[in-house]
Structure 1
């Protein structure tokens, strides 16, 4: 298995199932990229700390899903990999990441498109709503977000449609009747405020 180059040889020195948090220099390529993504819609926001999450088990599962499964079923072989924002609400990100499965849709309380992992293209969506984790003692002025690399595949475009039916969704709709019968890989909706994507792998 090949790990990201930034992790170091052999995927770094973390254990095989450990979610290791690695502090990054604010001048690192990763931190500068996050600053750029944040500034697009939150120009007054100041990035104060960046940590990389390294989990060998979850990376192997993600890479296998992306490269051995998703690439063969999504339209044109485009896995549609993106960096997206996720808020952990009242729980600190490190507490959420301590779970063996990382971001786990089974802990979702549901949303516009049913139970799933909800990811935003625009950081102002989780920051402006109730989704970003507010850091204790900051009066709500300091927040914490996860930046998630997600392979979204073929997305079912929902636009602004929200109903009891969409809230009850258990999975995306059928994309190709087949054979083989193929579902959409994820759901994309919005703008409800800014755009939000949900249902991708983390």
Structure 2
């Protein structure tokens, strides 16, 4: 591993570890909790205004919109990345919003992502690629794989194919800690996203398990903040 790779790996490892001590980013998925569209439409303006305030305050890192229907009416649903001191902190913040207060939506998934270190806004279809290290590998081999894959993330980000990347830390049973990444890929469909994932050595060489999830189209946070 050359000095450039090692320096980048060390810096990103420090970023990930330090990020866990403070606020971290959480990926949040929500789903409609009603089949009655009218209450949603009645509260939509207020919900958007209060959510936009979270955007202006810097709590929302990324946001994606996906088509959905409620009672035969098209009502898009969102997935987003939100800062919080803990999962409960994120749940508490979301619980203060109108939709949550009225029980119109529920949180279907929430998971820590770590610290954001790359971003490129793209409005096309995005897929979340979440990697989890498998056990039983030599730590030095993992570092070499990680350094190559982080270079690949930067390369794909420069091409606009990776729209955001978060760096987290995975701890093993023996106390070993290694950086792990969660990225958003721009792809026309799930099969293309899976093929793109194979560009990462952690995936192609079987060092990590992969979880792929459709996010939807990325939304410009600056437009939301501007109202």
Q: TM-score, normalised by structure 2?
A: 0.23
**Larger Rg over CA atoms:** 2
Q: TM-score, normalised by structure 1?
A: 0.25
Per residue, is there more helix in 1 or in 2?
2
Per residue, is there more strand in 1 or in 2?
2
